[in-house]
Amino acid sequence: MTVAAAAGVSPMTVSKVLRGTGRISLATRQRVMQVADDLGYVPNGLAGALSSQSSQIVGILIPSIGDMVYSGVLAGINAVLVPKGFSSFIGETFFDPENEARLVRTVLSLKPSGLILTGGLERTGATMHVLRQSGVRCVQLWDGDRPDLDATVGLSHRAAGRAAADIFLSRGLRDACYVGAQLDRDLCAARRLEGFRQRLEEAGGRCRVLADDALPRDVVTGEALTAALLAEGPPPEAIHYLNDAMAIGGLRALLAAGVEVPGRTSVIGFNGTSLRHAIQTRLTTLEVPLHEIGARAAQALLQPGEARTDLVDFQIVAGTTVRP
């Protein structure tokens, strides 16, 4: 049913309301907007184009294009899409569900061939409603613990957290700390913490958490939080960082404080982005095949079918920051 029919007004009235023009009563405007929301209606941003069919645009919504993780994923996506004639519309959500909702409507107005959205945030009910009503194929990236949309390509972050804990436990290390940031928004990182802490506690260990949700997940934050941890007392036996960038900052702080790594404190990162930059100290980390995740997500987008979950394996890379 069209918005005009459901609201009991003419198509011209609907057009004026959605464009914010014309002398339309407040009651009518509110009724039309409510009906449009209920129907998941999104204005056509390609009005006047040569074709009313979907464009060759694929919308890709990621937390931040400045994050090395997502630059690797984007490279994988475009390696599949570009040779097939598709163009990417990239939006940054910054883990903000309301920002994601706005971007979803913007991309859908361009009549995309598909959408790739990063999981790990609390997607709003309104966004899910609009996505279902759109009829556009949607693939979720990254979050393999909570499959969603038409297909999901990612990893189990709980399993990654447990794997990091097992590395420490295999070396007899049970006094550990998790250092992170923005755990209130990045639900995948929160699940890694959950898996890490759960596995340690199962083995009789303990896990302290040091996180600041107001700080970025970068080298500077890793260094600052680790310095704060060391100011509280003796360093823990082991530290697991939210990502490799924070781990590099943490290593700086440990070195500055004279804490021997790995003799006194062992360190593990996550995602593997530090590996290409290692010179002498090689961070022990859980490497994620970022390019592969992006490529498989793009392939899932181009192969409509039943909803499915494609779990990608991570790899434990043994560096020099964990006790032998």
Which token pair is 260? 């021997």
pLDDT digits (tens, 9 = 90+) for 182-210: 999 999 999 999 999 999 999 999 999 99
Predicted confidence at residue 47, as pLDDT, reads: 44
**121 in any annotated domain:** yes
Q: Is residue 140 part of a domain?
A: yes
Name 155's Cβ contacts closer than 8 Å, sequence gap at least 6.
142, 144, 288, 293, 311, 312, 313, 314
**Is 318 part of any domain?**
no
Is residue 323 assigned to a domain?
Answer: no
Per-residue pLDDT band for 54 (boundaries 50, 70, 90) equals low
CA dist 114 and 122 (Å) reads 21
Check whether residue 283 and residue 298 sit in a common domain.
no
DSSP label at residue 236? P
Instruction: Check whether residue 180 and residue 217 sit in a common domain.
Output: yes
Is residue 6 a part of any domain in this protein? yes
165 plus 280 within the same structural domain: yes
Q: What's the Cα-to-Cα distance from 252 to each of 75, 180, 245, 280, rounded to whole Å?
A: 30, 16, 11, 13
Residue 118 belongs to what domain range?
A: 54-155+290-312
pLDDT of amino acid 91: 96
Say which CATH number the domain at 21 has. 1.10.260.40
CA dihedral 277, 278, 283, 284 (to 10 degrees): 90
| 133-158 residue pLDDT tens | 999 999 999 999 999 999 999 999 99
Residues 70 and 167 in one domain: no
64-122 pLDDT tens trace:
988 889 999 999 999 999 999 999 999 999 999 999 999 999 999 999 999 999 999 99
Same domain assignment for residues 23 and 129: no
User: Is the Cβ–Cβ distance between 16 and 43 less than 8 Å?
Assistant: no
Strands 57-62 and 238-241, bridge-based pairing: unpaired
Domain total of the chain = 3
User: CA 165, CA 196: separation in Å to the nearest integer?
Assistant: 5
- Is the same domain home to 163 and 252? yes
For residue 212, the domain's CATH number is: 3.40.50.2300
Higher pLDDT, 25 or 229: 229
- Taking the CB of residue 234, how many other CB atoms lie within 10 A of it? 10
Do residue 164 and residue 149 come from a single domain?
Answer: no
**Is 164 in the same domain as 275?**
yes
49 belongs to a structural domain? no
pLDDT value at 51 more than 80: no
pLDDT digits (tens, 9 = 90+) for 231-243: 999 999 999 999 9
* 46 pLDDT higher than 70: no
* Residues 308 and 211 both lie in one domain: no
Taking residue 215's Cβ as centre, other Cβ atoms within 10 Å add up to: 16
> Are 180 and 211 contacting, i.e. CB atoms less than 8 angstroms apart?
yes
User: Could you tell me if residue 320 is inside a domain?
Assistant: no
What is the per-residue pLDDT across 262-318, written as a single tens digit (0 to 9) for each? 999 999 999 999 887 666 789 999 999 999 999 999 999 998 877 789 999 999 999
Instruction: List helix spans (H) across the chain.
Output: 3-7, 11-19, 26-38, 68-81, 97-108, 125-134, 157-170, 187-202, 219-232, 244-256, 290-301
131 and 59 within one domain: yes
pLDDT digits (tens, 9 = 90+) for 21-43: 778 888 888 888 888 877 766 66
**Are residues 58 and 39 located together in one domain of the fold?**
no
| DSSP states along 191-220 | HHHHHHHHHHHHTT-EEEEEEETTS-SSHH
What pLDDT score was predicted for residue 42? 63
Using CA atoms, how far residue 74 sits from 71, 108, 158, 239, 263, in Å, is 5, 20, 24, 30, 38
* Neighbouring residues of 169: CB distance < 8 A, sequence distance ≥ 6: 199, 200, 203, 205
Kindly state whether residue 203 falls inside one of the protein's structural domains. yes
Q: Which DSSP symbol is given to 160?
A: H
Residues 271 and 161 in one domain: yes
Can you tell me the distance from the alpha carbon of 234 to that of 84, in angstroms, rounded to the nearest whole number? 56
Pull the structure tokens for residue 249: 């900052």
**50 pLDDT tier (thresholds 50, 70, 90):** very low
> What pLDDT is stored for residue 37 in this prediction?
76
